[in-house]
Amino acid sequence: MNYKLIDMKIFGDERGKLVSLESMKNVPFEIKRVYYIFDTLPNQARGMHAHKDMEQIIIAIDGACQFILDDGKNREKIWLNRPDVGLYIGKNMWREMHNFSYGCKLMVLASDYYDESEYIRNYDDFLKSI
């Protein structure tokens, strides 16, 4: 399975906490794009795609959601629910996001610019592609 959970260092003191994300340091690729997802709903799934050539790190800055990760052979479910844990997803991994908590905010760091032609949005096409 081409994914891993990365514990990010927290700089915390009496003022609060801070996490820093840096290309080729705690983020294992050059960051070309950042986007975030908010105003999600518990009964609305997202994702349902794979990337042919994109790496990402996803962080639940606030709230929680459940990821289904699938490499075509194995399927695993994990909860993302900490602002100091990054979910790294490599290439050719089918991902689904379910069970968003109200107010969940996901921040995504991506290794490349948005390119719809690089998405695989049909699960059967994904299985054929790997």
Q: Does 38 bind ligand TYD (CB under 6 A)?
A: no
Rg (CA), the chain: 15
- Which of 3, 19, 31, 46 binds ligand TYD (CB under 6 A)? It is 46
Distance CA 130, CA 51 (A): 11
Q: How far is CA 52 from CA 4, 56, 76, 104, 129, in A?
A: 18, 12, 20, 27, 9
Q: Does 35 bind ligand TYD (CB under 6 A)?
A: yes
Number of residues lying near ligand TYD (CB under 6 A): 6
Distance CA 82, CA 5 (A): 11
Is residue 98 part of the annotated active site? The answer reads no
Of the pair 11, 35, the CB lying nearest ligand TYD is at 35
Catalytic residue among 28, 31, 49, 84: 49
Q: Tell me the torsion sign for CA atoms 25, 29, 35, 36.
A: negative
Of the pair 46, 82, the CB lying nearest ligand TYD is at 46
Q: Does 47 bind ligand TYD (CB under 6 A)?
A: yes
Contact residues for ligand TYD, defined by CB under 6 A:
33, 35, 37, 46-47, 114
